A and B are shown apart, each in its own frame.
Chain A
Amino acid sequence: MNLADPTKIHLAKDLVHTRPLVSCRFDARGRFVFAGSEDCTVQRWDLATGARVALTAHESWVHALASSPDGETILTGGCDGRLIWWPATAAAPTPIRTIEAHRGWVNAIAVNKEGTLVATCGNDRMVRLWSMADGSLIQELPGHPKVVYQVAFEAGGRYLVSADINGLIIQWDVLVRKEARRLDAAKLSKYDAGQGVDYGGVRDMAFSADGSLLACSGLIEASNPLGAVSNPAMVLIDWKAGKELRLQRPKEDIKGVAWGVRSHPDGFFVAVSGGTTGGVLLFFKPDQINEFFKFAMPNTGRGLDLHPDGVRLATAHHDGHVRIWAMKAKPTA
């Protein structure tokens, strides 16, 4: 039975902050949505009541958010290099623990399914494994030559993947804490010699529900990186073979970056694109190159998460809104 029908997507809730947002995440029990803002706060909304609370301890923007599997702890990673543990449900959350996790930005956080390990990556080219329980450093995993954008645990929990600006993906064996193999999503990356810049890379990753596929979102055809001329795209990787299955891209010309991707239990992937075209949700089936459905949002998209109910999506926007979308028929009045 399908949980969701993306073609029936509609706005279920509109949550508003006064400043632009850069990221969003549901807690694992789906009671709250958290969003990092350009004012250096993390905003928390109670999905039932709409009540908003600010988490204020970072000295910079927060791009990295993750929930413990029990939904009781939220981890935030800032451009100040700090990793902070918060009580997810407290009336006025204050940090449980703060560590200096990276030199420069913390770009992403992942928590393993047992809730024992925290993986982070950053602009210092490092991947680090931390103890969820006490925040101690378990292992430093060097290997990326450039900025590392994303980390994700595979479904079995033994492996961690990290991905960088050049589209290099490193699979780490968490058990022995060593590199296991390398995968390639370099199609999402470009060095522009004229502008002298690296651009693109893997902006987000998601394993399919059955663990057989790894979707990497980002951009292609960056003819003018500094001018935001690029198209959103995904490299879909056959996890067992360790090879690219296909490059997925919109049917029509959409200018932007696929900042986020989520795997849906029904077997499809959803990506959020933001850029000069605006905000667009793109729904892809693994066996097709183009999306089977797309949905234009009222503002450029910057972050995406899937609610544990499999029906709702959260998107973070430059206009300060977190929009909660329901992938089902709109209730009749």
Chain B
Amino acid sequence: MRCDYSCRSDDHVLSRRGFLGGLAGLGLASGFGSFVNPSAAAAMAKGQKQMLVIWLAGGSSQLETWDPKPKTETGGPFRAIDTSVPGIQICELLPQTARHMHRMALVRGVNTHENDHGKGQYLMHTGRAQAPGAEFPHLGSLAARFLAKGTEPLPGYIHITPGGGGVGGKEAAYLGPKYGALYLGNGAPPANTARAGSTTPASDASRHDLRRHMNDRFANRRRTAETEAYTTTYEQALQLMERREVFDVTREPAREQERYGSHDFGRHCLLARRLLESDATFVQVTHSNYDTHNENFAFHLEQLGEFDQGFSTLLDDLAQRGRLDSTLVVVMSEFGRTPTINYLYGRDHWGTAWSIALAGCGIKGGTVVGKTNAKGTEVVDRQVGAGHLFHTYLKAVGLDPKDDYEVDGRSVQIADPTASPITELLA
């Protein structure tokens, strides 16, 4: 349902930053949203926090990453290796990442009760189970809405995918489409951001002035979330045109590109660094594909080889350039993979006992929270769900997950009210 802004009250004539509300509050509802509790806004003033999510699409195996069980019935052929933190071991497929364990935290007791790709993706992106008639914003949209200052030249939520590009909107749910994701398909810059060769800077500026004038007239009478998103997109596109070189990783010295790896994921991690250094608020990099029902070990060997190089180099750079303290890094999937190894050397979907990894802003490095049993078939200590993780992410970047957001006259807590942060992880 459309959000009608035509009342033109002072409350609703807002700057970009002040623009609250959106398209589809809790699914089909509409209306304005705002912080009931101003603490989140106050937190914003403390300084710019950023987020980086590495999404291992398809469901990476916890046994081949963060919670190895070598020489057990379920352990598979890979061994565990020591890390930079005595007593913490991870899978031998991650030797470079192991050097960063003092910066990282592992959550080994994740139970999301979800083995479906789509539902698992929704759950891990929103911190809430998918339910009919209710839509909640993705982590990236919340970051774009509540962490961004509004003056950044880049969109608040940028998602680097191995596949197609484009502009999303549905991820933002009740926050409104302008907090949706900008997708950089295969790391390519946004389409049509180069000024046509036949257009001079002066004539281009003149055309935009005319567009703005007409937009303003229209907005005075028929302002909607869609028109707001449209206007915002145009203005962001203009800024993107000015900063188009940010998306071009080939501007990096050859040595830098080599450090990240010659594969797409390495290139995308380097792009993520450039975007974060250009003050992008939230960057997600998807690495595909870990849905290894067949030959789990050979495919994890291949995929994690890329991950280990790109991810560890990115962590190195964020740390050395002083950005890690203000950047929350999360490595997650829609679920883990079965401890049982099937007859195809594969592992299947498994939301019962799996792991994620965090680093950076607000996170206590060298921490392991949660434990699975010897075969990894169940969580035996400090079980947490997606809601707990979501609370933790928000808390780590200085947002209060219990803050309410007003949607169409109703207060909605920005994180699942039945969950709470994993305090052991927080610095």
Q: A196-B162, A196-B288 are in contact. Are A226 and B344 (CB under 8 A)?
A: no
Cα–Cα distance between A199 and B151 once the two chains are bound (Å): 46
Q: Which residues of A contact B76 (CB under 8 A)?
A: 61
**When each residue 206-243 of chain B gets 1 if its CB lies under 8 Å from chain A and 0 otherwise, what string results?**
00000000000000000000000000000000000000
- Cβ A227 vs Cβ B293 within 8 A: yes
Q: What string of 1s and 0s marks CB contacts (under 8 Å) between A197-226 and chain B?
A: 111000000000000000000000000011
Band of interface residues on A: 20 to 34
Q: Complex formed: what's the CA distance from A199 to B302 in Å?
A: 10
Q: By the criterion CB–CB under 8 Å, are B71 and A226 in contact?
A: no
Q: Are A60 and B344 in contact (CB under 8 A)?
A: no
Distance, CA A194 to CA B76, complexed state (A): 26
CB-based contact A197/B302 at 8 Å: yes
Contact with B along A175-211 (1 / 0, CB 8 A): 0000000000000000000111111000000000000
Enumerate chain B residues within 8 angstroms of A61, measured Cβ to Cβ: 76-77
- Give chain B interface residues in 284-305, CB to chain A under 8 Å: 287-289, 291-295, 298-299, 301-303
> CB of A66 within 8 A of chain B?
no
A 232-270 to B, binary, CB cutoff 8 A, 1 in contact else 0: 000000000000000000000000000000000000000
Closest to B264 in A: A196
Interface of A is mostly: loop
Q: Cβ of B31: which chain A residues have Cβ within 8 Å of it?
A: none
Which B residues touch A38, using CB under 8 A?
Answer: 73, 77, 341
Bound-state CA distance A59–B301 (Å) is 17
**Residue numbers in B under 8 Å from A80 (CB-CB):** 79
Residue contact A196 to B289, C-beta cutoff 8 Å: yes
Residues of A251-308 whose CB lies within 8 A of B: 274-276, 299-300
Are B289 and A195 neighbours in the complex by a CB distance under 8 Å?
yes
The residue that A228 contacts in the complex, of B78, B289, B344, with Cβ under 8 A, is B344
Contact yes or no, B293 A60, CB < 8 A: no
Count of chain B residues near A, Cβ 8 A: 28
A152 close to chain B: CB less than 8 A: no
CA distance A195 to B303 in the complex (A): 10
User: For residue A276, which residues in chain B have a CB less than 8 angstroms away from its CB?
Assistant: 344
A199–B73 Cα gap in the complex (Å)?
26
Q: How far is the CA of A194 from the CA of B163 in the complex (A)?
A: 8
The yes or no answer to A123 lying at the interface (CB within 8 A) is yes
Residues of B within 8 A of A104 (CB): 301
Q: Which residues of B contact A28 (CB under 8 A)?
A: none
Query: B341 contacts A20, CB within 8 Å?
Result: yes
B341 contacts across to A, CB distance below 8 A = 20, 38
Residue contact B58 to A226, C-beta cutoff 8 Å:
yes
- A196 in contact with B303 given A38-B341, A228-B344 (CB within 8 Å): yes
In the complex, what residue of chain A is closest to B287 when comparing beta carbons?
Answer: A196
Residues of B within 8 A of A199 (CB): 295
Return the CB mask of B45-81 against A: 1 if under 8 Å, else 0.
0000000000000100000000000110100111100
Tell me, in angstroms, the Cα distance from A78 to B292 when the chains sit together: 22
State A318–B346 Cα separation when bound (angstroms). Answer: 12
Bound-complex Cα distance A197 to B291 (A)? 11
The reply to whether A226 and B162 form a contact with Cβ atoms under 8 Å apart is: no
**Which residue of the partner chain, among A79, A275, A299, contacts B77 with CB atoms under 8 Å?**
A79
In the complex, what residue of chain A is closest to B292 when comparing beta carbons? A226
Asked if B79 and A19 make an inter-chain contact with CB atoms under 8 angstroms apart, the answer reads no
Contact A195 B288 (CB under 8 A): yes
Closest B residue by C-beta to A39 = B73
Residues on the B chain within 8 Å of A123, using CB: 301
- From A193, which residue of chain B is reached at the shortest CB distance? B162
**CB pair A197 B77 closer than 8 Å:** no
Determine whether the beta carbon of B294 is less than 8 Å from that of A197: no
In the complex, which residue of chain A has the Cβ closest to the Cβ of B299? A197
Residue of A nearest to B95 (CB): A103
Chain B's closest residue to A201 (CB) is B298
Q: How far does the Cβ of A177 sit from chain B's closest Cβ, in whole Å?
A: 28
Given A39-B73, A226-B299; A79-B78 close (CB under 8 Å): yes
Nearest CB of chain B from residue A42's CB, rounded to whole Å: 14
B residues sitting closer than 8 Å to A (CB atoms) are 58, 70-71, 73, 76-79, 162-163, 264, 287-289, 291-295, 298-299, 301-303, 341, 343-344, 346
| A interface residues, Cβ below 8 angstroms from B | 19-20, 38-40, 59-61, 79-80, 104-105, 123, 147, 194-199, 225-228, 274-276, 299-300, 318
Can you name 12 A-B pairs with beta carbons within 8 Å?
A20-B343, A38-B73, A38-B341, A59-B70, A59-B71, A60-B71, A123-B301, A197-B303, A227-B293, A276-B344, A300-B343, A318-B343
The 7 closest A-B pairs by CB, nearest first: A228-B294, A79-B77, A61-B77, A318-B343, A195-B289, A60-B77, A196-B288
